């Protein structure tokens, strides 16, 4: 039986449902969503004229097999009307990233990028790495962000150059305020020790200005300045100072020596190259700011094999820049579909400033794009090789655990704590593409008793799958696991099984406990399943090594989450919970009493003796600790 024949009933029903919606639709811009039987989002699309676009799904004989399947699964549609097609494009990108529909081209592993921040809320600016939401310049005290950088390593290398070349401080404001003598950074010539007044505000401000120029692409001007200073110091026979300027010049030149390629006059630009092989695509993105290469990253969007390259590039760009600043120039090797619409949408994001998308045909920019294309091809080859290896392991796992088909999503669980404190549950996700780190989750344990590993695991299961049920996650979707690996033996397996049966999802999962052998001997792991006796694998079995890798990854993740929570707990002060106590009053109280514990035990009269603490505030502090 053909696919069309098999789906003729559901396909006709889906087409009729869509046809009923078409009768009520206007010919205006908007976004539409196709929903499945359980309310899951199958597809998100945008249209210049909703009626014209949606009616095309009713002509099922003209649709490719993939879209016929989507129509057959459609039980409902939802619409959002917009003023313009640009608004529809921006909303579509936002919804696709948020909802991850099954039938859309989807950008995966869309992590935020790190920046360099030169602070502006202090007389002596600090240079530091910043990741996350970027505050406006006013909120940041006049500070400036430079980037994005492709990785934390690229940021760290650049900050290292800034310290060697311009000797900017990287210490926190509290450390700066409490220094009595220069730190090691001064002695190794990476800071000018403004904390102990070894440099004036004006001289330090000039260092900061040079760093800003360097990060903004004006490095040649800065180098010329230091060359002139070096020559002048040499003429005055101040050879020590001349050697210092020479070292600063070398530090700046080092960053250019590691640039793969440079283009004169490029300014701020991103270069995107799309390549494809075997139905898998890779988009390589290189970031250039001020003409300097700030690194690159490869992406592997999910899409159907039938998709056109121009459509993949268009959807990728729309999703990629949905939550990122867009530079003024975007160089590509494949012209995106709806190029003009994308340029208009990006200009809206940049408050009306023009953004150009171009496909260079000659010259330095063409050579730059070709360079990025080669990088994309190399990344895709590595990805396909890794994926083939992962698929082989996952197929063996399915056979080992008597699964009907190889799992598309494996979730691995572990708990971490020290004597019952700072309890954290960790979940890592493995797929045929390798570890999906954007899907990792940590669970701060709230209900389980201290040191109750079984209670902790039960809580994690109830929260993870309770939420999935609440959000109506389809068991056929990519967000639903086929296999659960539990770090532990028969006891943990029993608790997990009981929790999953309580939620009514046990039959939709394969659950396996993996425990280390006698004396916790790695390599002699025992495997536990509810419907068979425990078993072990030979020491040199590749499937055992793969499962050990999964188990070790969840160990690493859970322990890291526990350490983060413990570190935050250690740094807490008893004064953090007192309303009206800011940094200044907290510092005054701690300096006066010596510790938060002593503040908690102080009398009202003693609290009033601290500068800035009124009688009303003293009573508030006293009542907080003596309620």
Determine the pLDDT at residue 2: 44
Higher pLDDT, 396 or 306: 396
Ranges of CATH 3.40.1440.10 domains, the chain: 3-99
pLDDT bucket at 256, cuts 50 / 70 / 90: low
In the block, tokens 């200044």 appear at: 584
Q: Report, as an integer, the average pLDDT of 265-282.
A: 90
The token duo for 325 is: 């600043």
Helix or strand or coil: residue 264? coil
Q: Is the pLDDT of residue 68 over 60?
A: yes
Q: Report, as an integer, the average pLDDT of 329-335.
A: 95
Return d(Cα 549, Cα 188) in angstroms, integer: 41
Angle between helices 8-22 and 65-73 (to 10 degrees): 70
- To the nearest whole percent, how much of the chain has pLDDT over 70? 91
Distance, C-alpha 435 to centroid of its chain = 14
The answer to whether the beta carbons of residues 479 and 468 sit under 8 Å apart is: yes
Lowest-confidence region among 111-115, 123-127, 400-404, 463-467: 111-115
CB count within 10 Å of CB 28 equals: 16
What is the per-residue pLDDT across 69-104, written as a single tens digit (0 to 9) for each? 999 999 999 999 999 999 999 999 999 988 889 899
Beta strand pairing call for 434-435 and 421-431: antiparallel
Q: What is the largest CA-CA distance in the chain?
A: 92
Higher pLDDT, 28 or 257: 28
The token duo for 413 is: 């669980």
Nearest residue to 77 via CA among 27, 11, 14: 14
Q: Is the pLDDT of residue 420 over 70?
A: no
pLDDT bucket at 619, cuts 50 / 70 / 90: confident
Return d(Cα 74, Cα 378) in angstroms, integer: 39
Q: Is the pLDDT of residue 505 over 60?
A: yes
What is the per-residue pLDDT across 130-158, written as a single tens digit (0 to 9) for each? 887 766 544 455 678 888 888 888 888 88
Q: CATH fold of 269-382, please?
A: Nucleotidyltransferase; domain 5 (3.30.420)
Point out which residues pair with 270 in neighbouring strands.
Answer: 287, 330
pLDDT bucket at 509, cuts 50 / 70 / 90: very high
Q: Is the pLDDT of residue 278 over 60?
A: yes
Handedness of CA 97, 99, 105, 111 (dihedral sign): positive
Q: Is the pLDDT of residue 342 over 80?
A: yes
Higher pLDDT, 234 or 380: 380
127-135: long-range contacts at Cβ-Cβ below 8 A with a sequence spacing of 24 or more? 127/159, 127/162, 127/163, 127/168, 127/169, 127/170, 127/211, 128/159, 128/170, 129/155, 129/156, 129/159
The answer to whether the beta carbons of residues 516 and 524 sit under 8 Å apart is: yes
Handedness of CA 132, 137, 141, 142 (dihedral sign): positive
The token duo for 36 is: 């499945």
Ranges of CATH 1.10.150.20 domains, the chain: 574-625
Angle between helices 309-320 and 85-99 (to 10 degrees): 80
Determine the pLDDT at residue 109: 67
Nearest residue to 580 via CA among 625, 618, 607: 618
- To the nearest whole percent, how much of the chain has pLDDT over 90? 38
Angle at 70 between CA 69 and CA 75, to 5 degrees: 115
Q: Report, as an integer, the average pLDDT of 605-613.
A: 84
Return d(Cα 310, Cα 321) in angstroms, integer: 17
Q: Is the pLDDT of residue 243 over 80?
A: yes
* Helix, strand, coil percentages in the chain from 3-state DSSP, rounded to 5: 50, 20, 35
pLDDT bucket at 419, cuts 50 / 70 / 90: low
Determine the pLDDT at residue 238: 78
CB count within 10 Å of CB 109 equals: 14
The token duo for 559 is: 């322990």
Determine the pLDDT at residue 570: 58
Select the CATH number that applies to the domain covering 410-569 from these four: 3.10.20.30, 3.30.420.340, 3.40.50.1820, 3.90.1150.10: 3.30.420.340
Return d(Cα 555, Cα 570) in angstroms, integer: 22
pLDDT bucket at 350, cuts 50 / 70 / 90: confident
Ranges of CATH 3.30.420.340 domains, the chain: 269-382, 410-569
pLDDT bucket at 5, cuts 50 / 70 / 90: very low
- CATH code for 3-99? 3.40.1440.10
Q: Report, as an integer, the average pLDDT of 518-535.
A: 79
Nearest residue to 71 via CA among 4, 11, 21: 11
Distances, alpha carbon 265 to alpha carbons 131, 211, 329, 330, 515, in Å: 28, 20, 12, 14, 59
- CATH code for 574-625? 1.10.150.20
617 membership: H or E segment, kind and range: helix 615-625
Q: Report, as an integer, the average pLDDT of 35-56.
A: 92
């Amino acid at each position: 039986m053909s696919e069309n024949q098999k789906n003729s009933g559901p396909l006709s029903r889906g087409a009729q449902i869509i046809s009923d919606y078409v009768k009520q639709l206007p010919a205006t811009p908007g976004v539409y969503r196709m929903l499945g039987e359980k309310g899951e989002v199958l597809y998100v699309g945008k249209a210049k004229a909703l009626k014209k676009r949606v009616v095309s799904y009713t002509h099922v004989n003209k649709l490719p097999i993939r879209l016929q399947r989507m129509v057959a699964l459609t039980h409902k549609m939802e619409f959002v009307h917009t003023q313009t097609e640009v608004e529809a494009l921006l909303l579509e990108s936002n919804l696709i990233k948020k909802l991850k529909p099954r039938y859309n081209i989807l950008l995966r592993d869309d992590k935020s990028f790190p920046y360099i921040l030169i602070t502006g809320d202090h007389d002596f600016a600090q240079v530091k790495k910043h990741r996350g939401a970027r505050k406006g310049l006013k909120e940041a005290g006049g500070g400036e962000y430079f980037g994005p950088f492709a990785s934390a390593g690229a940021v760290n290398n650049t900050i290292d150059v800034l310290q060697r070349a311009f000797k900017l401080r990287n210490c926190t404001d509290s450390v700066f305020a409490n220094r009595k003598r220069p730190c090691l950074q001064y002695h190794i010539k990476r800071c000018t020790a403004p904390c102990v007044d070894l440099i004036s505000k004006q001289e330090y401000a000039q260092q900061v200005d040079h760093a800003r120029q360097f990060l903004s692409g004006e490095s040649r001007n800065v180098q010329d300045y230091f060359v002139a200073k070096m020559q002048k110091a040499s003429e005055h026979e101040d050879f020590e100072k001349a050697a210092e300027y020479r070292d600063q010049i070398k530090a700046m030149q080092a960053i250019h020596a590691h640039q793969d390629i440079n283009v004169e006059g490029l300014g701020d630009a991103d270069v995107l190259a799309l390549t494809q092989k075997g139905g898998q695509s890779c988009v390589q993105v290189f970031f250039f700011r001020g003409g300097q290469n700030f690194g690159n990253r490869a992406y592997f969007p999910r899409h159907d094999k039938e998709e056109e390259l121009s459509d993949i590039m268009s959807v990728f760009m729309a999703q990629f820049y949905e939550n990122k600043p867009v530079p003024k120039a975007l160089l590509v090797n494949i012209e995106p579909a709806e190029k003009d619409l994308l340029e208009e949408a990006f200009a809206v994001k940049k408050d009306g400033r023009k953004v150009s998308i171009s496909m260079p045909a000659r010259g330095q920019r063409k050579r730059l794009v070709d360079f990025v294309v080669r990088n994309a091809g190399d990344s895709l080859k590595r990805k396909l090789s890794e994926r083939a290896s992962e698929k082989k392991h996952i197929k063996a796992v399915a056979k080992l655990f008597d699964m009907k088909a190889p799992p598309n999503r494996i979730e691995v669980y572990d708990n971490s704590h020290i004597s019952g404190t700072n309890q954290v549950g960790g979940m890592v996700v493995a797929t045929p593409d390798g570890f999906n780190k954007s899907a990792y989750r940590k669970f701060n344990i709230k209900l389980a008793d201290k040191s109750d590993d079984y209670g902790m695991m039960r809580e994690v299961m109830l929260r993870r799958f309770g939420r999935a049920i609440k959000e109506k996650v389809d068991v056929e979707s990519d967000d639903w696991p086929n296999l659960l690996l539990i770090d532990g033996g028969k006891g943990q397996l029993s608790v997990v099984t009981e929790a999953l049966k309580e939620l009514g999802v046990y039959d939709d999962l394969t659950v396996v406990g993996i425990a280390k052998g006698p004396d916790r001997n790695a390599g002699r792991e025992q495997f536990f399943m509810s419907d068979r006796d425990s078993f072990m694998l030979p020491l040199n079995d590749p499937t055992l090594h793969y499962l050990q890798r999964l188990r070790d990854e969840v160990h690493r993740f859970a322990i890291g989450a526990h350490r983060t929570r413990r570190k935050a707990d250690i740094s807490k002060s008893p004064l953090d919970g007192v309303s009206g106590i800011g940094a200044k009053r907290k510092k005054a109280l701690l300096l006066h009493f010596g510790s938060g514990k002593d503040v908690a035990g102080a009398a009202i009269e003693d609290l009033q003796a601290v500068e800035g603490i009124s009688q009303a505030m003293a009573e508030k502090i006293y009542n907080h600790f003596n309620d």
